[in-house]
Structure 1
Amino acid sequence: MNHADLVVVGRALRLLGEHGERLTHDTPESVLHEIRADLQRALALLADSVSTARPTTRCPEHPTGPVDKSARDLCLLCETRRRAAPPPAEDEDECAPPAAREVRVQSRYGIREERPQPQERWVPEMWNGRTWQLCGTPRRDKTEAELFIAAQRRLPRAATAYRLVHAFTDHVVARTWGSPVAAQPTTGPRAF
């Protein structure tokens, strides 16, 4: 329904509401015929503005598709697709190694594996007059880091310059007390 249809149907329904407020037990028959004509006009406008058929299923993909009463969403097309899918083979799960059979839960920090996944960070830095220095926590989201820098620039003692450094690492960084050293991942399994 476009905006013009919405305005016309709304106006017709408001007119019917006004008729309903004025309706009493001694309303003349001429007014009742006028209400009937307005009601028929509102129904015709509503029927013209509805562009699709009434949904017959609860399926968002096929709302007007064929009906299967035994399907959970009443959609025959989706139920046929579900029935045609091959069942999972039970013997494949038993042959798989125990690590592959265990259920892994998706976490914000990912899954620890034999080799770590590359890390992507956005590091906010500020210019202190001589060098660039870290001015906040490295973030995973670029827009969040940009919002942090925008907030830093609004402070009364803001630095003269800020920058975002895109840090993409595919190695493990070991923290030391001198200068940071990057330890390359080993080829075999790591002990923790």
Structure 2
Amino acid sequence: MNHAQLTALGRALRLLGEHGEALSTQTPDARLHEVKADLRRALDLLDETVTTAAPATRCPEHPNGPVDESAPDLCLLCETRRRAARRSEVDGAYASYARRAAEATAPAPSRYGVREDRPQPQQRWLPELWNGREWQLCGTPRRDRREAELFITAQRRAPRAAPAYRLVHEFTDYEVVRIWGHPVRTDIEPMGNPPMGNPPLGNPPLGNPPPGNP
């Protein structure tokens, strides 16, 4: 469409708009014949301006392409492309699933297996108490640190609480992350006697005196 065609077509359409606004029940037939002539003039201008066929689809990429009534844009080419993409997506998902299943059932190439065949390390939180000589486990290992700390808090409030508690993080190795109280080594021998191997203070050890002493 060149500038002259655009100007003429715009003038004809504006004139038709004025005719539409002026229509009423008292419009004479002579005026209707004038409207008819202006309509034909506008149609002729449109025929001269439009050089392509009317679009058969609502697709901006293929307006005159083959029609598919089931497609949202009536375009057979685009609908075929969309169907192929959906089919490829489904087939690809199935292929990925089949590949993972085959890998899961395949034997390990080594007697020790590969990294994916070995179980992943899991972390636990171990509540321990001080029994006077060493640390010992005082509850079930927890998977949650907060839950283990709440358990130790309840144990410390018990009537026969231990002198000290601690929380140990177990994850491939052991790491002490927190200690409650003071783990002091105490005497657990009966009648208050010192442990074997530690003679009382002030008593000389049994046996021969060292050389040089009378």
Task: Give the TM-score normalised by the residue count of structure 2.
Answer: 0.38
Task: Give the TM-score normalised by the residue count of structure 1.
Answer: 0.41
More helix per residue: 1 or 2?
A: 2
